[in-house]
Structure 1
């Protein structure tokens, strides 16, 4: 199955061109940091919320996602108040390698039972503007990732905390030979929040800044709890006892 993903490629000189992918696959990654100790900080953060990382699987851990779950939109629909975004480097494999920024929005309630399902339960949001990686490769490590929730700074980190795009591409070719590096997208993992605790809110913003080029890509979306349209006494349980009685509340 595939679907069309329409983006805009922006060069360092400001020139733009349409970029359309016949999207064939989407991959999310976890713990894709150069220093494993940096990844552990996020692992500890989600552990406080009852989430267990499969540390027996070598990092970076790979989570294949359905292509229909990728969005450039400004609205993410969810089923609980326990969801949150994660700013991530996004690689776009097309006629060449492009880099962008996205938010791996995750259902933290469901994540206690299944990390892949929790990611698939919410849209993965990608900013519609991307940059050719070749133009920025030499100064890539100076770029910065940030995210905000309801106007509050939530994450801030240099991209040099993560594996470089070309190293991720090589790793994917080795570990996921079924993931073709054409018309595909990869989210490259996230970092611990500034206060080291998961945050929840109704509006998420995220960006990647290129300080050398004096530019940035920024995007935002609103989170909508779909159960709010239903009177409380008519809302069905989100989960059915897998995690515990408190988890059944919507």
Structure 2
């Protein structure tokens, strides 16, 4: 973090102004948050440097950190605004989306513009509501493609080293419970899709879901790692 902050104050041929956007700032380590405190003090702020911090867990941030920012709280957009956004993108991209699929997208998007846009990209070539619903259920998991990658590795009986590396990378940026619930949501979406075979996948899916469900609670990280190893061994056995 220190190197990133220092780079903001170095001259650049590209632009006089620089912006640092920190998404999900609550997930920064205590050390990283501490390193930001001094640059964010009023006397150290520069006119041509802007800090933007985004979070969905405002209460998880220490007061001394929050007090250094202007606070702008956003709320989901309504159905009309959601439809206007979708129609605007469709017009610019010359896309045709059935009304029923737009309605489904608005329902699944829950007023979150990012989810609407990523969902639109996933269903642009889709013709049936069922396939669109399956794709949007996956999309609704906070657009976590990396959790989907972990799910695919488990489903495809990948080596434990491959699964372990993917899980290790995920744990650097996400809470164990976020990963666990994400896997459960992807699994339930697959069960409800046309691509699910109850003959080939039924027992494994029930087993996988139950293991993940029962792995909640302290210590979250250890429980998640143990659960995924357990599932991986079962899938291969």
- Give the TM-score taking structure 1 as reference length: 0.20
The structure with the larger Rg is 2
Identify the structure with the greater helix proportion. 2
Structure with bigger RCO (C-alpha 8 Å, 6+ apart) = 1
